[in-house]
Amino acid sequence: MNNAGALWGGRFKKAPSEALVDLSRSPAEYFRLAPEDLRSSAAHARELTRAGILTSEECADIERALAEVERDFLAGLVLPIPADEDVHTFLERVLKDRIGALGGKLRAGRSRNDQAANDLKLHLRTKVRTLAADVLALQGALVAQAKEHVETITTGFTHLQPAQPVTFAHQLLAHAQGFARDVDRMIDWDRRSARSPLGGAALAGSAIALHPELSAVELGYEGPCENSIDAIGARDHVAEFLFVAAMLGVNLSRLAEEVFLWNSKQFAWVELDDGYATGSSIMPQKKNPDIAELTRGRSSRLIAALQGVLVALKGIPFAYNRDLAEDKWASFEAIDTLELVLPAMTGMIATMEVDRDRLRSQATLGFSLATEVADWLSRQGVPFSEAHDITGALVRYCEAKGCDFAALQASDLAAVDPRLGPDVLPHLTAEAAIAARSGYNGTAPASVRGQIERLEALIDRQNGWAGAGEG
Ligand code: ARG
């Protein structure tokens, strides 16, 4: 044995070089998988008992020791030492320290390759629910703000140019719809990822642990993976988790970008709560939307994590290759980022004050009622292409006169085009434009109330799923 404390070494004449040890050692944060590794070891001990490798008494001793190690690990009483190559090596060492050679029996019928695949999958399956709960808390904040602003009217933009009036609730809920799909993707991911890699035993399947379907269910999976090579070598579930995280990050970044704009002095639509804004070290007047900026910035890490795993995966043959360990930094980076960003965004959205009057004052900026004129003409039988031109001429007329649509008289309309009758004038208010958009997904308050009702029902269902994983 030429690698004391390691899980391998018998066939080596020399100890490993320092450079190899340094490269091979898992980064410190990977040891967070200890609880998953210990739970899985208990399930494996029961599998070895079924296989006749352990007696029931030995199994009970191992299970008791594993539970104690978990308790001590969580209390910070057992820590990895530099010689522990990874979390699996660490825990086997601790177990052997406590129960002697019996601890070494647990290695029969499984490989670290299975443990690595399984531990991370279990971890992701737990985290996907807590992250969903964090997204749903943000949804709660968005819906609460939306309910306050079903009748708050403002400009909607395309190309960041005033386009048409919208209700502010409608604009907030556009983000909520994206987050609802993010949670839906999490639920869908979890369903597809509910297959246990255990029993793979490095690649070919175990000649000892013959009932992975039992350990799978004990660990909360729906069943084992169908193919032991795929079980150990596949990481598409990691890439998919990271896509879901990256998409969520991009959606958060887009919301952050809007808050950033709304909070600018030029927009001045919202005032951030002091608890969710920062100051400047030199300019005493500053109150900065740092949460929005940090969220926008951190989304780059989520994209990088997804990209990192896809690049790591693309060239490696089945089954296990050390490259697969790249699955961990990427997963932890994504989880840690979201766990910081989501509560901060939720607090910022929940506490921001919206200046209704300011929003209303900008609702018709930049001729945002022009579509009402063209729509009115087309209802009079004018082909929309001509209605578009006539309305364009009206905009030009107003620009030349330096006035807004609100100042238009019947004589102005007639001067632009005889088809522009005075009956169009009552349509030229933001309130009228909004009320007219009363279809299923429109911005009219009644439509938005329906949207909120359906969204709240969806959020309830999603909360039921996120909560179901607890304990
Ligand atoms: N620590 C590795 C990982 O996280 C698992 C070790 C598998 N090592 C091996 N030589 N087969 O992926």
| pLDDT recorded at residue 471 | 41
| pLDDT recorded at residue 3 | 76
Angle between helices 326-351 and 290-314 (to 10 degrees): 160
Q: Give a three-class secondary structure readout of the chain.
A: CCCCCCCCCCCCCCCCCHHHHHHHCCCHHHHHHHHHHHHHHHHHHHHHHHCCCCCHHHHHHHHHHHHHHHHHHHCCCCCCCCCCCCHHHHHHHHHHHHHCCHHHHCCCCCCHHHHHHHHHHHHHHHHHHHHHHHHHHHHHHHHHHHHHCCCCEEEEEECCEEEEEEEHHHHHHHHHHHHHHHHHHHHHHHHHCCEECCCCHHHCCCCCCCCHHHHHHHCCCCEECCCHHHHHHCCHHHHHHHHHHHHHHHHHHHHHHHHHHHCCCCCCCEECCHHHCECCCCCCCCCECHHHHHHHHHHHHHHHHHHHHHHHHHCCCCCCCHHHHHHHHHHHHHHHHHHHHHHHHHHHHHHCEECHHHHHHCCCHHHCCHHHHHHHHHHCCCCHHHHHHHHHHHHHHHHHHCCCHHHCCHHHHHHHCCCCCHHHHHHCCHHHHHHHCCCCCCCCHHHHHHHHHHHHHHHHHHHHHHHHCCC
Q: Which residue has the tokens 């729906």?
A: 222
CB 176 within 8 A of CB 379: no
Domains and CATH numbers, the chain: 18-108 (1.10.275.10), 113-203+226-362+450-466 (1.20.200.10), 370-428 (1.10.40.30)
Q: Output Rg (C-alpha) for the chain, integer angstroms.
A: 30
Q: Which atom of ligand 1 is nearest to the CA of 87?
A: 1
| pLDDT recorded at residue 287 | 87
Closest to 58 in 3D by CA, of 25, 103, 26, 110 = 103
Query: Residue 76, by phi and psi: left (phi above 0), alpha (psi -120 to 50) or beta?
Result: left
Pocket of ligand 1 (CB under 6 A): 26, 86, 112-113, 116, 320, 324-325, 328
| pLDDT recorded at residue 455 | 98
* Integer Cα distance of 215 and 118 in angstroms: 11
- Looking at ligand 1, which residue's alpha carbon is closest to its atom 10? 322
Catalytic residues: 159, 280
Q: Which atom of ligand 1 is nearest to the CA of 26?
A: 1
Pairing of strands 223-224, 195-196: parallel
* Integer Cα distance of 298 and 292 in angstroms: 10
Output the average pLDDT for the chain. Answer: 96
Q: Which atom of ligand 1 is nearest to the CA of 88?
A: 1
* Integer Cα distance of 299 and 18 in angstroms: 36
Q: Which residue has the tokens 């079980």?
A: 231
Q: What is the best residue among 86, 87, 107, 203 to mutate for testing ligand 1's pocket, by most ligand atoms within 8 Å of CB? A: 86
Low-confidence ranges of the chain (pLDDT < 70): 1-2, 469-471
Q: What are 164's strand-pairing partners?
A: 156
63-72: pLDDT as tens digits: 999 999 999 9
| pLDDT recorded at residue 469 | 60
Measured in Å, residue 22 CA sits from the centre of ligand 1 at 14
